[in-house]
Amino acid sequence: MARGAVTIIDVAQAAGVSKSAAARVLARNGSVSDKTRMKVLEAAARLGYRPNHVARAMKSGATNTIGIVVPDVALPFFSAVLRGLADTARAAGFEVLVSNTDNDADIEARSLELLAEQRVDGVVIAPVFQENPAAIVRLDREGMPIVLLDRRMPGLEHLPLVSLDHVDATERAIRSLIEGGHRRIALVTEAAQVRSTLESLTSRTSESSDLSLLRPSAQRFVGYLRALHRAGLEIDDELIIRSGYTTGDAQQAVEAFLDRDTGATALHATDAVLSSGAYRGIRACGFSIPDDLSFIGFDDEDWTTMVQPAVTVVEQPRQRLGATATTALVGIIRGGAAEPREQLLEAELVVRGSVAAASLPSHTLRCEPIRTGVSAPSPSTSGRL
Amino acid sequence: MARGAVTIIDVAQAAGVSKSAAARVLARNGSVSDKTRMKVLEAAARLGYRPNHVARAMKSGATNTIGIVVPDVALPFFSAVLRGLADTARAAGFEVLVSNTDNDADIEARSLELLAEQRVDGVVIAPVFQENPAAIVRLDREGMPIVLLDRRMPGLEHLPLVSLDHVDATERAIRSLIEGGHRRIALVTEAAQVRSTLESLTSRTSESSDLSLLRPSAQRFVGYLRALHRAGLEIDDELIIRSGYTTGDAQQAVEAFLDRDTGATALHATDAVLSSGAYRGIRACGFSIPDDLSFIGFDDEDWTTMVQPAVTVVEQPRQRLGATATTALVGIIRGGAAEPREQLLEAELVVRGSVAAASLPSHTLRCEPIRTGVSAPSPSTSGRL
DNA sequence: TTGAAAGCGCTAACAG
DNA sequence: CTGTTAGCGCTTTCAA
């Protein structure tokens, strides 16, 4: 600000015209004679004039800035979303202010407060799961354009949401396993719900209004139930592996699971964190993928193509999520138009080598931990396929 | 802005005091009676007053906002840097505006221009490599506080730089291999320089002034040369694997290299992208790590602990790079103090299982491509160890 | 301690 | 087509 600070007045003086004449030229609106335009443009270029967006914002009430509030931009998912959002925002003439919440409601509230003080024109937020999202509600009431990303919760029903179609994503993965002949398919989930709570959502077709209030993990769980249900397969609680939301938890849970004789021929983990833990667990037990067990992961992180065989995954259109959310937000800012309450993007199943057809009935296979640190020759216990 | 728009005037009226009295309370400076303070605070709370940072910036000339300009926030390195930067900035009372350049000089120039128009108080930038960084130079001349991140180039000698100590990072990796008994150590590099150009930098101790103008890749190359030099080992051009900057290139280059009989017992790739390519190349040839070849990667990406054995890597303190850059920038903004021209952070060697001691003299080992898609039982051609 | 008043740089309504 | 003028919300002298 104290910068070079060439103002519109300096330009006007140098060009020998009035402040408003210069303003008209520089803001390219209002009519001006060619001669005046020339003089002003020349003076502006010579002096190195640079419009002051702060003053402009002060006057117009629009900062041409939007905020994005996410748990952690360092997570691959959110950094990709941010990228998509930033590109779209820039193309629409907006700058982007970022905030991390670390899934802390207080930090989130504080971040929103700061963004509001900065007078951003709108906010895209992946909200922290909380009882009472008061900060968001308050901002919304005050008229701040808000678009939810990836998550909704009670109290925010009226806000537009851009999210993956979580139900469909998982359903798609499970369906592909079923089509491959798998019948006993295990699921690693961090959803807390018991099966029966979600099972009612399985049959009805368009319950998205209910579904969107569930956490993504629960929605994905529904996708699992729905896929089995539609295929006429029985749902076996034994195949549902509950895990805390850490790689370590998932690994442990999967190892414990594999140690039991469940007859599972395939396993799907419904999240990136759970996927890497599950994969580790499978390997730690000495199981060979896909010979002993087929595996489908979630999110296309780089490790999935570094291991052998490469892992079949459900991939989210991360950048597109950010871009879509931004487009929706800009629409609200510009038009005040009521955006569709929900935009669900489709996931894609990236088929690689971690899934085999299940032609033979499953047989007993137990977890046999291998000596860590030694590159494990796959036990090849089974001759399936 | 058009928001709830409770202004300081509204508060003053509600409190029955003058605008300036209210301002003094709300900006907590200037002396006010307790009674006045109470009344104002109460009114502000009741009305939901929220300071308008735009107006404040307009008046004070400080936006309390900084910009970060990087090639791509979706890359793990930059997203981690951004996280560190955002945390530090927030703690210091600054908001963060992000820009991606995709390594395009024009986009970079445009981004800087926009940030300047927004009147950010300072900029942290990982500049695009270019002949003439005019946009950065211009901003600097106009007095904009700037801190370079990770890269410097001719024309920017005077700007403070926060970077990894690239030379030391690679030197450290190579030294550890040497200490493990390796003598024929291959390097995958994207540096364009011929060996002799850099070799002169090997002996002198504190040529950092010269070194910082080299690209990170070249600096790392110097680290390689320096490590061998100091160990009194001969440098063999045959062991230097030149690669383009893509995973595919690196894989191809490594495969071609392994197809020759060079007697290498260890290999180091000086970058995350090259590392994954190199790793793929080694595996594609059917080599077993570390039995046939020891391997050290660069950057601690998630795949390095998903493969077996886990990969020993040189790890950069990414978040700390962002934090350090921000601290430096804030120092300049606040104090105008001349920051140290260069702050080089140390890398850490994370020792895992991909390095074996080289006890036996190397023997002939050729690349034997394996059938892709088949999980390769390691050939175990050699009985080393 | 308090209030009045002058802007920060820009836009826009208005008069000429 | 052009110049004058009145603010946007806030901070900060300057008097009182």
DSSP per-residue letters across B133-181: -HHHHHHHHTT--EEEES---TT-TTS-EEEE-HHHHHHHHHHHHHHTT
What residues have CB less than 8 Å from B110, skipping those under 6 apart?
none
- Asked if the model's pLDDT at residue B254 lies above 90, the reply is yes
CA–C1' A12–C9 (A):
13
Query: Counting Cβ atoms within 10 Å, is residue A237 exposed (0-12), middle (13-18) or buried (19+)?
Result: exposed
- Asked if the model's pLDDT at residue A90 lies above 70, the reply is yes
Banded pLDDT at A380 (limits 50, 70, 90): very low
- Read off the pLDDT of residues B108-162 as tens digits, 9 standing for 90 and up: 999 999 999 999 999 999 999 999 999 999 999 999 999 999 999 999 999 999 9
Top-confidence residue, A67 or B19: A67
Banded pLDDT at A33 (limits 50, 70, 90): confident
Residue B365: what pLDDT? 61
CB-CB under 8 Å, A100 with B86: yes
Q: Cα–Cα distances in Å, from B265 out to B187, B189, B239, B364?
A: 11, 17, 10, 10
Residue B381: what pLDDT? 31
Query: What would the two tokens of residue A129 be?
Result: 């799961």
- Dist. CA A225–CA B260, nearest whole Å: 54
Closest by Cα among A249, A96, A125, A258 to A186: A258
Question: Which residue among A61, A114, A319 places its CB closest to the CB of B2?
Answer: A61
H or E element at residue B226? helix B216-230
CA–C1' A326–D11 (A):
35
Residues of B in contact with A377 (CB under 8 A): 377-378
Banded pLDDT at B203 (limits 50, 70, 90): low
Q: Are residues B142 and B228 in the same domain?
A: no
CB-CB under 8 Å, B100 with A86: yes
Residues of B in contact with A302 (CB under 8 A): 276, 301-303
Residues A105-129 have a mean pLDDT of: 97
What residues have CB less than 8 Å from A349, skipping those under 6 apart?
A172, A173, A176, A296, A312, A313, A314, A315
Look at residue B301 and tell me if it is in a domain: yes
Q: Are residues A298 and A341 in the same domain?
A: no
CATH code for the domain in which residue B46 is found: 1.10.260.40
CB-CB under 8 Å, A303 with B307: yes
Question: Which pTM was predicted?
Answer: 0.91
Q: Are residues B304 and B326 in the same domain?
A: no
- Dist. CA B98–CA A89, nearest whole Å: 11
Q: Are residues B183 and B301 in the same domain?
A: yes
Q: Are residues A201 and A286 in the same domain?
A: yes
Question: Which residue among A58, A79, A306 places its CB closest to the CB of B276?
Answer: A306
Look at residue B363 and tell me if it is in a domain: no
Q: Are residues B230 and B246 in the same domain?
A: yes
- Asked if the model's pLDDT at residue B270 lies above 60, the reply is yes
Look at residue A249 and tell me if it is in a domain: yes
Question: Which residue among B1, B58, B80 places its CB closest to the CB of A55?
Answer: B58
Pick the last residue of a domain from B312, B335, B365.
B312
Look at residue A243 and tell me if it is in a domain: yes
Q: How far is A359 from chain B (nearest CA, A)?
A: 19
- Read off the pLDDT of residues A238-291 as tens digits, 9 standing for 90 and up: 999 999 999 999 999 999 999 998 999 999 999 999 999 999 999 999 999 999
- Dist. CA A45–CA A6, nearest whole Å: 11
Banded pLDDT at A28 (limits 50, 70, 90): confident
Residue B195: what pLDDT? 81
Share of chain A above pLDDT 90, in %: 76
C chain positions with any atom within 7 Å of a protein CB: 1-5, 7-13
Residue A377: what pLDDT? 37
Residue B298: what pLDDT? 97
End-to-end CA distance of chain B: 70
- Asked if the model's pLDDT at residue B379 lies above 80, the reply is no
Mean pLDDT score of chain A: 89
Residues B364-374 have a mean pLDDT of: 53
B35 touches strand C (CB under 7 A): yes
Residue B200: what pLDDT? 75
Residue A31: what pLDDT? 79
What residues have CB less than 8 Å from A346, skipping those under 6 apart?
A164, A165, A168, A169, A317
Contact residues, B window 208-227, toward A, CB-based 8 Å cutoff: none
Nearest CA in chain B to A1: B61
Residue B295: what pLDDT? 98
Q: Are residues A152 and A234 in the same domain?
A: no
Q: Are residues B42 and B120 in the same domain?
A: no
Look at residue A284 and tell me if it is in a domain: yes
Banded pLDDT at B215 (limits 50, 70, 90): very high
Mean pLDDT score of chain B: 89
What stretches of B218-340 adopt beta strand conformation (E)?
240-242, 266-269, 294-298, 312-315
Residues B184-196 have a mean pLDDT of: 90
Q: Are residues B145 and B103 in the same domain?
A: yes
- Dist. CA B212–CA B196, nearest whole Å: 18
- Asked if the model's pLDDT at residue A158 lies above 80, the reply is yes
CA–C1' A171–D3 (A):
68
- Asked if the model's pLDDT at residue B2 lies above 50, the reply is no
Residue A354: what pLDDT? 97
Banded pLDDT at B74 (limits 50, 70, 90): very high
- Dist. CA B339–CA B235, nearest whole Å: 38
Residues 16-35 of chain A in contact with strand D via CB under 7 angstroms = 17-21, 24, 30-33, 35
Query: Counting Cβ atoms within 10 Å, is residue B35 exposed (0-12), middle (13-18) or buried (19+)?
Result: exposed
What residues have CB less than 8 Å from A343, skipping those under 6 apart?
A160, A161, A162, A163, A324, A328
Domains held by chain B: number:
3
Residue B384: what pLDDT? 28
Banded pLDDT at A384 (limits 50, 70, 90): very low
- Read off the pLDDT of residues B345-357 as tens digits, 9 standing for 90 and up: 999 999 999 999 9
Question: Which residue among A65, A80, A289 places its CB closest to the CB of B74?
Answer: A80
Helices B216-230, B195-203: axis angle to 10 degrees equals 60
- Dist. CA B309–CA B324, nearest whole Å: 33
CB-CB under 8 Å, B54 with A119: yes
Beta bridge partners of B345: B164
**Cis peptide before B133, with omega less than 30 degrees from 0?**
no
Q: Are residues B177 and B297 in the same domain?
A: yes
Look at residue B359 and tell me if it is in a domain: no
End-to-end CA distance of chain A: 70
Q: Are residues A15 and A123 in the same domain?
A: no
Look up the domain containing B232 and give its range: 166-312
- Read off the pLDDT of residues B173-186 as tens digits, 9 standing for 90 and up: 999 999 999 999 99
- Dist. CA A188–CA A278, nearest whole Å: 8
- Dist. CA B334–CA B359, nearest whole Å: 56
Residues A308-330 have a mean pLDDT of: 97
Contact with chain A for residue B55, Cβ under 8 A: yes
Top-confidence residue, A97 or B335: A97
Banded pLDDT at A2 (limits 50, 70, 90): very low
Share of chain B above pLDDT 90, in %: 78
Q: Are residues A251 and A291 in the same domain?
A: yes
Look at residue B135 and tell me if it is in a domain: yes
- Dist. CA B273–CA B371, nearest whole Å: 24
CATH code for the domain in which residue A201 is found: 3.40.50.2300
Look at residue B368 and tell me if it is in a domain: no
- Read off the pLDDT of residues A202-252 as tens digits, 9 standing for 90 and up: 765 545 457 889 999 999 999 999 999 999 999 999 999 999 999 999 999
